[in-house]
Amino acid sequence: MTVEHYNAENPRMHISYSKVERPEELTSKLKIAAFYLGVVIVWLIVASIYRGFGRSWIIPAVSVMWIAGAITAYVARNDEENTTRETRWVILGFLGFLLIYRSILPFIVPLSSAQMAAALDINIPAVSGAAIAGMLQSILLLASVLTPVGFLIWCGQKIRQYHGRRSRQAVFERVKGVKRAMKGDEQ
Amino acid sequence: MTVSEIFQSVFVFHVNAFYGIIFFLQANFFLLLSLPAAAYLAWTEMKAKAALSADDKRRVS
């Protein structure tokens, strides 16, 4: 049994750290694990909804994002918590966008050019109805390609920044060493 | 049943299992590749979170 009180007669403390998992810590760990599991499940659901596009692009793209995030967290140790958090939120945001985009399309696509013209109160040619399909496809391609690419660029700059900071610290240490040596010579 | 027939049937089972495993790995390649990465991220986050609250149960004597 651990006695947890301060002994005034003997203020010299004998410290022994116990590794007992508190309920709050366990809950927070379970929450984190559940979040990651949820992101993976959403990933698989979105990939299956998008069928061929999901298999050939969404699964590899998100996989590359997971791996890039893990490598960045491993390499840039000074900011690993932020890297992990941002990785999971970027992936969840990306998947959320794809899911919402796919679920609102059925409501928008059936609108004809005449209905849109009436809604906006402007003259819309009938041909633009065909252009909408191409535009929707372009939006999907742009969003689904640029998000992973942007994330990879972010990871790259983070690693580069970390190495830059390390080399700057090395220069400072060297300068300090030279100054210390010069002081030593003066004395 | 001869010994060679037994060997043949065992061989067939193993070839079948081998192809099944290869097919599974091929079909779920990216998922299997990224699951360790996701697990590493989760573990890192748990570690960082645990470091925020130090379990400071000291025994005072």
pLDDT grade for A184, boundaries at 50, 70 and 90: confident
Burial level of B48, CB count in 10 A (0-12/13-18/19+)?
middle
Segment 9-28 of chain B within 8 Å of chain A by CB: none
| Residue A1 clears pLDDT 60, i.e. is over it | no
Q: How is residue B55 written in tokens? A: 């379990």
In angstroms, the CA A43 to CA A35 distance is: 12
* Structural contact between residues A154 and A67, judged by C-beta atoms closer than 8 angstroms: no
Question: What does A32-70 look like in DSSP terms, one character per residue?
Answer: HHHHHHHHHHHHHHHHHHTHHHIIIIIHHHHHHHHHHHH
| Residue A2 clears pLDDT 50, i.e. is over it | no
| Residue B33 clears pLDDT 90, i.e. is over it | yes
For the CA atoms of A105, A108, A113, A115, the dihedral, rounded to the nearest 10 degrees, stands at: 170
The residue-averaged pLDDT of A46-73 equals 96
- CA-based diameter of chain A, in Å? 92
Instruction: Looking at mean pLDDT, say which of B3-7, B35-39, B44-48 comes out highest.
Output: B35-39
For residue A128, the model assigns a pLDDT of: 80
Note whether B49 contacts A28, CB cutoff 8 Å: yes
Of A10, A32, A59, the CB nearest to B46: A32
| Residue A106 clears pLDDT 80, i.e. is over it | yes
For residue A18, the model assigns a pLDDT of: 58
Residue ranges of domains in chain B: 3-51
For residue A11, the model assigns a pLDDT of: 56
pTM over 0.90: no
Residues of A in contact with B41 (CB under 8 A): 36, 66, 69-70, 73, 84, 87-88
In angstroms, the CA A34 to CA B42 distance is: 10
pLDDT tens readout for residues A4-31: 455 566 555 555 555 667 788 889 999 9
Of B37, B42, B55, the CB nearest to A18: B55
DSSP state of A77: G
pLDDT tens readout for residues A148-182: 999 999 999 999 999 888 787 788 888 888 777 77
Is B48 part of the contact surface with chain A (CB cutoff 8 Å)? yes
Residues of A in contact with B58 (CB under 8 A): 4, 13, 15-17
For residue A131, the model assigns a pLDDT of: 82
CA distance B35 to chain A (A): 8
Q: Report the mean per-residue pLDDT for chain A.
A: 86
